[in-house]
Amino acid sequence: MKYSLLILTICLFLSGTEQARAQIRLENICSIYGHEEVRLIGMGIVVGLDGTGDGGKSGPTIRALAAAMKAMHTPVLDAKELGNAKNVAIVTVHATIPKTGLHKGQRLDCYISSYLSAKSLRGGRLLITPLQSDDLNNETVIGTAEGAIVIEDSTQLTNGRIPKGVIIKDSYFRNEDYLKRIIDVSDREPKIRLLLDGPHSSFISARAITERINEAFEFESFGQQHAKAVSPSIIDVRIPKTWQETPIDFIAEVLDLKINSPHSMSKVQVNSKTGVVIVSGDVELSPVLINHPNLQISIGTGNAVINGATFKALSDGQSTRTTSRLDQLVKALNELGVPRDAMIEVLRELARSGKLHAIYEEI
């Protein structure tokens, strides 16, 4: 919507009293090294297609079907006998065991994708297919997949899902094996390794978390520190002797610790197509005056006078900060009904001029 020239002056300040920050559990921003999902993969055969399979001229499909029939005690003497098998397709099968693990007899969903020239998997059924981990050097069969394929997207007929189509044949998360993956015993004392999530990885966050862990277990430290930051995203934590028989309990205690809102890199992400603006972290602005065809924006340190009109600062008068918050600017522009395209142009200019102290990204 076009509108007449508007002269707008916004002088922004942070209030003198900071809002209390919410406390965040470490489990929401950290993970344990070795505590990870397990991806299962396999290749199988889908049958029962309505003439939309790979076709009788597909050598790999015919050979795979012949091998499957032989395994089911129905050998094929000549592959040419399967030349009209248009209702068959070779597919890849993928499934993911969650971090918390699954055990023998439990089920999970799997996802099916056509591997060759099938036109559609609608109406097909996956023959029983062995699945192994994505470590192809380990040929242990962890589960098997089988069942009717559900097409979830009508525009992607060669991809589907089998709800609860995988049954676990081997408990991948046995207690002793699992502990070996998450606890490092190479040193004199066992330890775990905390991995900070990407958005929260920083020297400041690593220091804050280290201090919080050492404070929590100070009564067991005997003058030693249990936690040590080794990088912006890695913190090693020694397991105290009183917890070494129950390491899972110790991990639970660590992940249940809370810190004030963790530091994260200041970032502004703008989607120019949808007009969505995402501001993360404390994004600050230096004093600056921006002229726009429809706007004049002054971000400064006090009240301003333009064309004889006095514009009062958005402040309680107690702040001594010389920088302002971007979220305050965006909020003010929204309240004044400034169009998104104009707002995005303002953000671009702030980033180009170096007055916006954050990473600026347009997607």
Taking alpha carbons only, the member of 90, 88, 91 closest to residue 50 is 88
Same domain, 125 and 222: no
Choose the most confident range, by mean pLDDT, from 84-98, 278-292, 297-311.
Answer: 84-98
Residue 199, pLDDT score:
79
More confident site: 308 or 342: 342
Min mean pLDDT across 4-18, 61-75, 279-293, 340-354 is at 4-18
In a domain, 1, yes or no: no
Same domain, 230 and 352: no
Same domain, 276 and 225: no
Tens digits of residue pLDDT in 154-210: 999 999 999 999 999 877 666 677 888 899 988 888 999 999 998 788 898 899 999
Among 199, 233, 260, residue at a domain's last position: 260
Residues 129 and 71: beta-carbon distance below 8 Å: no
pLDDT band at 297 (very low <50, low <70, confident <90, very high): low
More confident site: 360 or 168: 168
Same domain, 248 and 304: no
Among 211, 231, 260, residue at a domain's last position: 260
In a domain, 289, yes or no: yes
Give CA–CA dist 323/283, Å, rounded. 10
Same domain, 254 and 271: no
Q: Residue 150 belongs to what domain range?
A: 38-168
Other CB atoms closer than 10 Å to residue 97's CB: what's the count? Answer: 23
Same domain, 246 and 322: no
In a domain, 22, yes or no: no
In a domain, 2, yes or no: no
Say whether pLDDT at 310 is over 80: no
In a domain, 29, yes or no: no
More confident site: 288 or 127: 127
Residues 22 and 29: beta-carbon distance below 8 Å: no
Residue 355, pLDDT score:
81
Same domain, 254 and 288: no
β-bridge pairing 304-306 and 309-311 = antiparallel
Same domain, 124 and 211: no
Helix, coil or strand: residue 244: coil
Tens digits of residue pLDDT in 83-134: 677 889 999 999 999 888 888 899 999 999 998 889 999 999 999 999 998 8
What average pLDDT does range 46-71 have in this prediction?
82
Taking alpha carbons only, the member of 124, 111, 118, 109 closest to residue 42 is 111
What average pLDDT does range 259-266 have in this prediction?
75
Residue type, 186: S
In a domain, 6, yes or no: no
Tens digits of residue pLDDT in 74-85: 777 666 667 677
Min mean pLDDT across 205-214, 216-225, 227-236 is at 216-225
> What's the CATH number where 202 sits?
3.30.1360
Same domain, 319 and 349: yes
More confident site: 124 or 269: 124
Mean pLDDT taken over the chain: 80
User: Over pLDDT 70: what percentage of the chain?
Assistant: 78
Among 240, 260, 280, residue at a domain's last position: 260
Choose the most confident range, by mean pLDDT, from 43-57, 67-81, 146-160, 264-278.
Answer: 146-160
In a domain, 300, yes or no: yes
Same domain, 56 and 162: yes
Same domain, 92 and 72: yes
pLDDT band at 298 (very low <50, low <70, confident <90, very high): low
Say whether pLDDT at 296 is over 70: no
pLDDT band at 18 (very low <50, low <70, confident <90, very high): very low
In a domain, 16, yes or no: no
DSSP letters for 298-349:
EE-SS-EEETTEEE--BS-S----S-EEHHHHHHHHHHTT--HHHHHHHHHH
Q: What is the CA radius of gyration of the chain?
A: 30
Same domain, 202 and 248: yes
Structurally, how many domains does the chain consist of? 3
